[in-house]
Amino acid sequence: MKKTAFICDESYFWHDTGNGALFSLPGGYVQSDGHAESPETKRRFKNLLERSGLYEKLHKIKPYAATEDQLEYFHTKDYIQKVKELSRIGHGDAGELALVGKGSYDIAQLSVGGAITAVEAVVKGECDNAYALTRPPGHHAEANLGMGFCLFNNVVIAAHYALKELGLERVMILDWDVHHGNGTESAFYHDPNVLFISIHQEGLFPAGRGESNHIGEENGKGTTVNIPLPAGTGDAGYMYALEKIVKPIADDFNPQLIIISAGQDASIFDPLGRMMVSAEGYRKMTKFMMQLAESNCGGKLVAVHEGGYSTAYVPFCSHAIVEELSGITTDVEDPFIQAFNGVPYDQLSDHQKERIDAIKSIHIKQENY
């Protein structure tokens, strides 16, 4: 059994994204409903952990708030002040689809701090691995712009913390959110010390980002790996990409820490994606990443929650991840998977294999691989 830390704070559920529909403000012909990035997916995940009994067996760590100096590891002073002012006013958009509510600045600081807390605990050996249930998410946030529900880039700042304050030299970030982690890519596009790999649905948000030929520049050439997969890719396709692309590149890079941007919106029930990953698929991907971490960095693995918008299904996908991380099994089963009997979510199609093999060939040509 692994000693798995769980980092969360009630404040995360109090970040207010308003009562719009999907991501639009109410008004005109848009009737009030619920913002896509509501607290419910994450609160229900935590509730399921408690209901199953798994929560009590995890090593709970209270997060601390990131300092402004730590926010400046990536974000500009002007942008930080913008978020702070919008938070004081109580409403506004920090960029593109990045709503700020009353007190959101302090909560976002704590969200960054949750990722830092998880990284620190794992690197210092307080636990074997960790799951940070943070909110707001972070992987879309650019240095001077909030995007896609993200205010500050939690994973980017946590990786910088590991390099700057914990003395690590090589950090790997795997982003399996269904949307491309553009902010994380921007942060490390020229940096040879951070390997960034994004597995995402092709042609989705944000437009024009995450193409397979975007591989980094200058000293960072080859340490950005984009794996855009066709809509409908499920468990088998994701595992094939991990085995054929992620593993050899990661083994060559030999990270001292692996961070997962864990967005569970590639699931078969997500309203903002068109992939077909099951809860069992997330369990298998977690097991794979644990083995990768074990062979490269003594098992040092941190998962930081990103997207996921099915209030019913995200809890089961995320619960499976934490079960695998901890090595603790419960009697929780996927109550929804019967709806996909006969759907090929666990089969690798020819066009999925061809796409992944083509992406692999891009990186095999690189000098380091």
% of the chain residues with pLDDT over 70: 98
Residues of the chain with pLDDT > 90, as a percent, come to 93
3-state secondary structure of 175: strand
Average pLDDT of every residue of the chain = 96
Look at residue 202 and tell me whether its pLDDT is greater than 70. Answer: yes
Average pLDDT over residues 272-285: 98
Question: Could you count the other beta carbons within 10 Å of the beta carbon of residue 269?
Answer: 21
**pLDDT greater at residue 22 or residue 265:** 265
Residue 367, pLDDT above cutoff 60: no
Determine the Cα–Cα distance for residues 93 and 100; give it in Å rounded to an integer.
6
**Residue 171 in tokens:** 């950090």
Give per-residue pLDDT as tens, 171-183.
999 999 999 999 9
Q: What is the mean pLDDT of residues 6-21?
A: 94
207-212: average pLDDT: 96
Q: How far is CA 38 from CA 31, 64, 109, 292, in A?
A: 16, 22, 18, 33
Question: Which one is predicted more confidently, 142 or 21?
Answer: 142
Statement: the pTM of the whole predicted model exceeds 0.75: yes
Per residue in 16-49, pLDDT (tens digit) is 998 888 888 889 999 999 899 999 999 999 999 9
Model pLDDT, residue 365: 62
Residue 364 confidence (pLDDT): 73
Structural domains in the chain plus CATH codes = 4-17+34-364 (3.40.800.20)
Question: pLDDT at position 21, please?
Answer: 87
Does the annotation count 319 as an active-site position? Answer: no
pLDDT at residue 1, rounded to an integer: 61
Helix (H, G, I), strand (E, B) or coil at 301: strand
Mean pLDDT, residues 289-312 taken together: 98
pLDDT, tens only, 57-104: 999 999 999 999 999 999 999 999 999 999 999 999 999 999 999 999
How confident is residue 282, by pLDDT bands cut at 50, 70 and 90? very high
72-87: buried (b, 16+ CB within 10 Å) or exposed (e) per residue? bbbbeeebbebbbebb
Residue 2 has pLDDT above 90, yes or no: no
Label residue 148 left, alpha or beta by phi (over 0 means left) and psi (-120 to 50 means alpha).
left
Q: Of 140, 214, 305, 363, which is the active-site residue?
A: 140
Task: Quote the Cα angle for 335-338-342, to 5°.
Answer: 155
- pLDDT of amino acid 278: 98
Average pLDDT value for residue range 284-306? 98
